[in-house]
Structure 1
Amino acid sequence: MLKKVPHTYVIIFSLIVFCALLTWIIPGGEFERESVVVNGVERSVIKNGSFQQTDSQMQSWQVFSSFFDGFLRTSDIIALIVLIGGAFWIMNASKAVDIGIYSFLQFLKRFERSKLLARIGVNNLVLLSIMTIFSLFGAVFGMSEETIAFTIVFVPLAISMGYDSIVGVSLCFIAATMGFAGAFLNPFTIGVAQGLSDIPLFSGLEYRIFMWAVINLFGFIYVLRYARRIKKDPTKSFVYTDDNYWRKRNESTSVTIEKIKPTAAWIAMAVLSTFLVFVSFAFPQSAINMGNSIFRVPAIPVATALFIIMGLVTLRHSVQYFILTLLTFTIVFLVIGVMGHGWYIKEISTIFLAMGIFAGIAANNSPNTLTKLFLAGAKDILPAALIVGLARGIVVILEDGKIIDTLLFNVSDSMQNFGEVGTLGIMYLIQTLLNVFIPSGSGQAALTIPIMSQIADLIGISRQTTVVIFQLGDGFTNMITPTSGVLIGVLGVARIPYEKWFKWAAPFILMLIIIGFLLILPTAFMELNGF
């Protein structure tokens, strides 16, 4: 008789208790910090040689208070999840997304008549196209939290295409994370790490593009092979029973396109268009950051003009198509805001909330109906939001117990006697494991790069190599670490239990880690531009 697998909450709470026990075994210690300006941003970094032992901060009752602190430290992500859940529930009430998926699948069937496309696989081309786009987003501007919102769209799409929720999550989250790991222009990881290492920003670009291509080639093949197996026999999915929620929702969806054009939809169109025109005059140019280059383009005015044109066309056809247009341009303005105006979680939450409200207005819902729909969506998504705060409790215990610096100091102090390959491997292992405890890329860079760059000087390897070690070590485990608020949020939205995700992701990530180590070796033993 098989033992029942513990609930995700039980697993995370067990990890909190385990980390609390470590604080009774491992002595406290900490580095001194100093403020430095890196790429125009002030950051707190450690002083080399400043480690000193401190009084132990054993954690006991704090295993319970860590929940509260975890919620506080991830309040932005929790708010993002709740607002997105409420907004999409309003949108889903109009059946616009479901009708869009149905229309998209009908569109694909036309291409299946082509023998060439049928042989390649139309679905494969769709999956590859979506994953490539999101991988580029991860590589260029570090897309991460945004994938929580896209999960709500791609999971039902994947299941409608005959796959499962894991494939849906792979389309956006896995793809963006692979791009994040193999990033070549990400200012939040590459930019910070190179700035702390005192090497030219975004140097070594050629080899990083090569790494990105290798990582994605393997990852895409892995996901496509899994998708093909699930398409052939859906019962082989790790989450077959869990996906009943999405299958029932898809089955209950009416595909009738509403021909009535409520006056409210035209009012919503007029208000949004007027507002966007004013914004276009206020921000005629957007400074799109691409690595260390800045391109000033009229992104907002162009997007506004396209929205007005598409809005008028789709409103003449149906309300649902207009709502899909609203969703599409929400994504367009999201990309512009993130890349050109420094948007983060607050702005992302705001634009999706506005999208949900205007979608509800366009569907001719009353204010009371909008409120009820929003509350229903927030209630439905609340478990996913709460688990994010619970997971951050692990990091709270480790930081308050003052053992992270102790672990880092002792491991880094003992790694210098293993030769170049051995030291590279240990540095890579440290960055990989440390990401479990410090899921923030820029935060991890501030903690480890000052130490790693000095070790690199001692053993005679390039500081650029330490940056590669950091980005790969920081990237891959983002797909599996329970302390990542983004991962836990994505899984919560997709309704995938963490333990089932772990079973699927563990072998995949292990292979990626091995590939990552093989990609590190040329940076130390070959003549590469920028290294």
Structure 2
Amino acid sequence: MEVQTVTSKEKKRKKWGIPDAYVILFGILVVIAVLTYLIPAGEFSREEVDGITMVVPESYQQVDSSPATLMDVFLAIQEGMISSAPLIFLVLIIGGAFAVIESTGAIDALILKTIEKTRNKELLLIIGVSVLFSIFGALGIIVNAVIAFIPIGIILARSMKLDAIVGVSIIYLGAYAGFNTAFLDPLTTGTAQQIAQLPLFSGIGYRIVIYLAVLISTIAYVAYYAKKIKKDPSKSVLGKNPFPKMEQRDEVAHKQEITRLHKLVLAWLVVGIGIYVFGVFQYKWALNEMAAIFLIIAAGTAILAKMSPNKLVAEFFEGAKGLVYGALIIGMARSIVVILENGKILDTIVQGMAAVMTPFTSVMGALVMFVANLIFNILVSSGSGQAVIVMPIMTPLADLMEIPRQVAVQAYKMGDGFTNTITPTSGILMANLAIAGISWTKWIRFMMPLLLIWIVMGSVFLVIGVMMDWGPF
């Protein structure tokens, strides 16, 4: 009887020990709502320039307070879901499309072929996958859609007898190693340079140097962790359960040849993604067009596999169902920004950042800009959203402090990219972790050393940028 009571207490402790991602986000939402009563409300004037709504520098003024009520807290969740609808439905559609592709066996066959080619060469696989996704990240074409590839990363990690952390890292951190500089991303770097009145994608040479340094450090860190847990599985951050969410498709078949159908399906997937990449640069396609492309990919796959319409629908919705938890968390994260904006304290926070930066020298000012963006990104994890809020303030500040505008853009970009990998307000991060079954606290434990490495490297590159007077080209 006594033993049962102790066991029951231990179970309760375990149950309360690691909060769910939704619980963490709701807790942050409540804290932000309380801050609307403590931080003065204020607003900048805004104007539209070439279709982009920008903050007018030195236009900040305090306004009537608009603190969040209890009803506002719960309304913010609904509003967050609505405003994040394009991304939420993109995640569900990609999940459905990949389920259709997987039902043909093409993904399993490709993974088995990859495993066969890289057998006992874990480093080669980590490098190959990370480099591929970093290029996608640098182009800004897959950062939001990276969620769809997480299951593949986990299966690859399982095949190497590693853990889910490695599976998420080679895909997600690979993509962010590129997105941290995003030297050819029109939505983040492009928007920031437009606001800073710099030529589009100028300064690309130095940005590629930064990209390579960040990528190499990321691969080295993930490879070191993989080698450590390969040698001693007990050193995994995830403890005794290295793959918390391997309910379905725990293992792929031991032997499976790549058939003509598999090649056609994989080629069709590559063509679809290629068309989307072309559309991004040629027609400025965004999330909605990506969703449409993946619907076309799913339909085309069904035709190639001679799949019945009913089978197509069944497979699609089975895949989408598996990502509902991860998709809706994006809207939950967005609700925090809704409270910040509706409570009118977001602009006050930006004004506080500007006031802190002004007294510093050019080198110190660049570093303060970087730190301020690292912190601000924890509240606003949208790259393009952060650009239109902070760049109109940072551009004139950079001129006053004799900081090259390229450095200001890079301080924003790395600030945005680096802390996106840890902030619980990032719907993409929380969705990735939810799909993999990794708790946010365990991810932080793994990620913090790499984040500190990135921050030190970023600081060095910014100082060099100031000292060499990094110009537009």
**Fold shared per TM-score above 0.5:** yes
Structure 1 residue 100: deviation in Å?
2.4
How far apart are the structure 1 equivalents of 2:154 and 2:104?
Answer: 18
1:492-507 equivalences under 5 Å are: 492-507=434-449
Return the match for 1:76 from 86, 89, 94: 86
Is the counterpart of residue 458 in structure 1 residue 416 in structure 2?
A: no
Q: Deviations over 1:9-60 (max 9, x none)?
A: 11110000000000010010000001112xxxx1111112211111111112
Aligned ranges for residues 12-161 of structure 1 at < 5 Å? 12-37=25-50, 42-61=51-70, 62-109=72-119, 122-141=121-140, 143-161=142-160
Kindly provide the amino acid, as one letter, of the partner of residue 92 in structure 1: E
Which segment is superposed worse, 327-336 or 405-414?
327-336
For residues 66 and 372 of structure 1, what CA distance do their matches in structure 2 show?
Answer: 33
Counterparts of 2:267 and 2:201 in 1: how far apart (Å)? 36
Greater shift in the superposed pair: 481-490 or 379-388: 481-490
Q: 3-state DSSP class of the match of 1:324?
A: helix
Distance in 2, Cα, partners of 1:31 & 1:74 = 24
After TM superposition, the structure 1 stretch with the greater mean CA deviation from structure 2, 169-178 or 240-249, is: 240-249
Secondary structure of 1:57 counterpart: coil
CA deviation string 1:446-494 (max 9, x = no partner): 2212211222222222222211211111111111222222222333333
Aligned residues: 458
Partner SS state of residue 44, structure 1: strand
Match of 2:228 in 1: 229
**Does the CA-based 8 Å contact 2:163-2:242 persist in structure 1?**
no
- The verdict on how the C-alpha distance between 1:321 and 1:190 changes in structure 2, with shifts beyond 3 A counting, is closer
Q: Distance in 2 between matches of 1:353 and 1:168?
A: 26
379, 384, 390: which one pairs with 2:326? 384
SS at match of 1:397: helix
The 5-angstrom pairing of residues 357-436 of structure 1 reads: 357-436=299-378
Amino acid at match of 2:65: S
Tell me how far apart the structure 1 counterparts of residues 358 and 148 of structure 2 sit (CA, whole Å).
44
Letter in 2 for 1:453: T
Q: Which runs of structure 2 are paired with 1:331-342 in the superposition (5 Å)?
A: 331-342=273-284
Does the aligned pair in 2 maintain the 1:85–1:380 contact within 8 Å?
yes
What's 1:485 paired with?
427
Following the alignment from structure 2 to structure 1, what is the Cα–Cα distance between the partners of residues 306 and 182?
44
Contact preservation (8 Å) 2:244, 2:437: no
Residue 327 (str. 1) matches residue 269 (str. 2) = yes
Change (3 A) 1:164 1:335: farther
Residues 141 and 339, structure 1, Cα contact 8 Å, conserved in 2: no
CA distance change for structure 1 residues 356 and 106 in 2, over 3 Å: closer, same or farther? same
Distance 2:472 2:288 in 1: 36
2:328 is paired with a residue of what secondary structure? helix
C-alpha separation in 1, matches of 2:300 and 2:470: 52
Q: Structure 1 residues 360, 499: closer, same or farther in 2, change over 3 A?
A: farther
Give how far 1:138 is off.
2.1
Matching residue of 1:266: none
Distance in 2 between residues matched to 1:331 and 1:415, nearest whole Å: 42
**2-structure distance, mates of 1:457, 1:243:** 50
**CA separation of 1:100/1:195 partners in 2, compared to 1, >3 Å: closer, same or farther?**
closer
Amino acid across the alignment from 1:76: P
Question: Match for residue 246 of structure 1?
Answer: 246
Q: Which runs of 5+ in 2 are unaligned?
A: 1-9
Among 379, 382, 388, which residue is 1:437 paired with?
A: 379
User: Secondary structure, in 3 states, of the residue corresponding to 1:187?
Assistant: coil
Instruction: Using the TM superposition, name which of 428-437 and 459-468 deviates more.
Output: 459-468
CA distance in 2, matches of 1:254, 1:128: 25
Q: Describe the superposition over 1:407-459 as per-residue Cα deviations: whole angstroms up to 9, x where unpaired.
A: 11123123322333433332212111111222222222222122112222222
* Secondary structure in structure 2 of the residue aligned to 1:45: strand
Matched letter for residue 469 of structure 1: A
Q: Distance in 1 between the 2:22 and 2:336 partners?
A: 12
Q: Deviations 1:249-274 (Å, cap 9, x if unpaired)?
A: 233x435659xxxxxxxxxxxxxxxx
Q: Is the 8 A contact 1:206 1:529 kept in 2?
A: no
The alpha carbon displacement at 1:64 in A equals 0.8
Residue aligning to 2:175: 176
Distance 1:527 1:318 in 2: 55
| Match status 1:193 vs 2:192 | yes
In structure 2, relative to structure 1, the CA distance for the partners of 1:51 and 1:189 (3 Å cut) is same
Give distance in 2, aligned partners of 1:484 and 1:323: 32
Q: SS where residue 188 of structure 2 aligns?
A: helix
Q: 1:514–1:364: structure 2 CA closer, same or farther, 3 Å change rule?
A: same
User: Structure 1 residues 495 and 426, CA, compared in 2 at 3 Å: closer, same or farther?
Assistant: same
1:340/1:149 CA distance change after superposition, 3 Å = farther
Instruction: Give identity over the alignment, percent.
Output: 37
Cα distance in structure 2, aligned partners of 1:336 and 1:7: 39
Instruction: Check whether the contact 1:77–1:485 (CA below 8 A) recurs between aligned residues.
Output: no
Residue of structure 2 in register with 1:302 after alignment:
none
Pairwise CA distance, 1:247: 7.6
Q: Distance in 2 between matches of 1:144 and 1:103?
A: 26
Q: Work out which of the two has the higher radius of gyration on C-alpha atoms and give 1 or 2.
A: 1
- The answer as to whether partners of 1:142 and 1:187 remain within 8 angstroms in 2 is no
Letter in 2 for 1:204: G
Would the aligned equivalents of 1:242 and 1:496 in 2 still touch at CA under 8 Å? no
Is residue 127–residue 171 contact of structure 1 (8 Å, CA) maintained in 2?
yes
SS at match of 2:134: helix
- Which residue does 1:265 correspond to in 2? none
Q: CA deviation at 1:196?
A: 1.5
Partners in 2 of 1:21 and 1:203 — Cα distance? 42
The CA RMSD measured in Å over matched residues stands at 2.4
CA distance change for structure 1 residues 326 and 231 in 2, over 3 Å: closer, same or farther?
A: farther
Distance 1:512 1:326, change over 3 A: same
Q: Which residue of 2 aligns with 1:521?
A: 463
Query: Are the counterparts in 1 of residues 176 and 417 from structure 2 also a CA contact under 8 Å?
Result: yes
Distance in 2 between residues matched to 1:144 and 1:179, nearest whole Å: 9
Gaps of 5+ in 1: 113-121, 259-313
Retained in 2: the 8 A contact 1:178–1:219?
A: yes
Could you say if the C-alpha distance between residues 77 and 248 of structure 1 is closer, same or farther in structure 2, counting changes exceeding 3 Å?
closer
- Asked whether 1:352 is paired with 2:352, we answer no
Comparing 484-493 with 54-63, greater Cα deviation is found at 484-493
How many angstroms apart in 1 are the aligned matches of 2:52 and 2:248? 49
